[in-house]
Chain A
Amino acid sequence: MEDIDAIAVLQDPVRRRLYEYVAAQGREVGRNEAAEAAGVARTLAAHHLDRLTEAGLLESGSRRLTGRSGPGAGRPAKVYTRAKGERSVSLPARDYRTAAELLAEAAELAGLDTGLRAAARRRGEALRGAAAPCGGLAEVMATLAARGYEPHLEPSVEPPVEGSEGEPGGDVDAPASVIRMRNCPFHAVAERFPPLVCGMNLALLEGLLGADGSVRARMDARPGECCVVVEASKNNID
């Protein structure tokens, strides 16, 4: 299916709600759960979920959700996740991806990391405009969501690995949360030139959030997610 046909499948409002719900969970979603979230009957949800799968926007599998197996465990349930592939349409045809890859390749060969990071930081600051640095994690979540990062809050379980002097028991009263991001808006170029493009991304976010606010962005890469996390600054916890 061509990209334009796949995207057209989302014109149906129920389908779009189902797609957005499944995409936002970052895990396998069953039919009952998706139906409930979209406010439609299970059979209608099942129909649309399968249409989205045929269009290549979702992927489906089957899982026994009960944790049991063997006779009596019941039929495996059908579950859905967002498909990994990218879809885009540009009218008239544009090819910014090839341009981005060529520019990144040249920057990598010439060792232009510092200049790229400076440009990204300036762009982040310009995007923020006159607004004050982000005041709290809720505000940061909204800013990141608007830029397509798909942020979600996660309890901070381990202290930062490097540079931490260790503050034993310091955060026991208030288990701090960090914002992680499911989506890398620069995925294709970041995969080809990770240190260059991830460094650019961090600088962009630093500019966007403001350096002297109550939050800070830092590198904490994990498989399958954005390389950056955002957390409350050490010196300014509300």
Chain B
Amino acid sequence: MTSPVPTVPSASPEPAAHLAQLNVATMLYPLDDPRMAPFVEMLDPVNAAADGAPGFVWRLVEEGTPDATGLRPAGEDVIVNLSVWESQEALWDFAYRSGHLEVMRRRRDWFARHVEAHLVLWWVPAGHVPTVAESLERLADLRAHGSSPRAFTFASAFTATEAAPHLRAAPRG
């Protein structure tokens, strides 16, 4: 057996920007309704897959719980998902090329169709943890102005370089 050897060891410096994502989903039934049970059952394994996914940085969880489904900052029946990734590819591969795709495939069973944008992406300085308020501002920006380096979608993405002037300064300690 032969095994290929990596040609160049990866010694690239820490990336300066990370990709934040927020999505909002309006539930068709309360979370404890039996019709939501298949979704609820997938929460733990899918969140565990996210935590272990290549390029995962951070996700929002409610204190004392394993996820953010109890937080309802965008409406009583709206659950939010806020996370940070090293790159757009890393987020894409988790969202659509992992067990998470099955949740997405069945989304119409549990969630209302959104007329407005329900997913927003934006670049943050590496190390910055976005707040819920900040993420809702980005979603409002996308809904009001369409895709821009400040707030965009997978289909109309911007690079971290293009977004550089819009990076919120990380809090300096």
Question: Do chains A and B interact in one complex?
Answer: yes
Complex: A65 Cα to B1 Cα, angstroms: 9
Evaluate contact between B97 and A63: CB separation under 8 angstroms: no
Docked-complex contact B45 and A195, CB < 8 angstroms: no
Whether B97 lies near A222 (C-beta < 8 A) is yes
Interface residues on B, range: 20 to 34
Q: Which residues of A contact B5 (CB under 8 A)?
A: 63-64, 67-69
Whether the Cβ atoms of A162 and B105 lie closer than 8 Å is no
Judging by beta carbons under 8 Å apart, are B108 and A162 in contact?
no
Offer 6 A-B interface pairs, CB within 8 angstroms, sorted by A: A63-B7, A113-B107, A162-B102, A198-B96, A221-B102, A227-B97
B4 near A63: Cβ-Cβ < 8 Å:
yes
Task: Evaluate whether A162 and B99 lie within 8 angstroms (CB atoms) in the complex, with A63-B4, A64-B5 already known.
Answer: yes
**One of A28, A163, A220 near B4 (C-beta < 8 A):** A28
- Separation of A202 and B102 alpha carbons in the complex (Å): 11
Q: Is the CB of A198 within 8 A of B113?
A: no
List the 5 shortest-distance A-B pairs measured between CB atoms, nearest first.
A195-B104, A111-B113, A194-B96, A221-B101, A199-B105
Chain A's closest residue to B1 (CB) is A67
Measuring CB to CB, which residues of chain B are less than 8 angstroms from any residue of chain A?
A: 2-5, 7, 41-42, 45, 49, 93, 95-99, 101-102, 104-105, 107-108, 113, 155
A219, CB-defined interface residue at 8 Å: yes
- Tell me the complex Cα distance, A67–B4, Å: 6
A residues within 8 A CB of B7?
Answer: 62-63
* A195→B99 contact, CB < 8 A: no
Distance between Cα atoms of A112 and B132 in the complex (Å): 31
**Partner of A194 from B3, B49, B104 at Cβ < 8 Å:** B104
Measured CA separation A202–B45 after assembly (Å): 21
Q: For residue A115, give the distance in angstroms from its CB to the closest CB of chain B.
A: 11
Closest to A64 in B: B5
A68 closest partner in B (C-beta): B5
A223 CB–B CB distance under 8 Å:
yes
Q: Are B2 and A195 in contact (CB under 8 A)?
A: no
| A114 close to chain B: CB less than 8 A | yes
Chain A residues within an 8 Å CB radius of B107: 113, 195
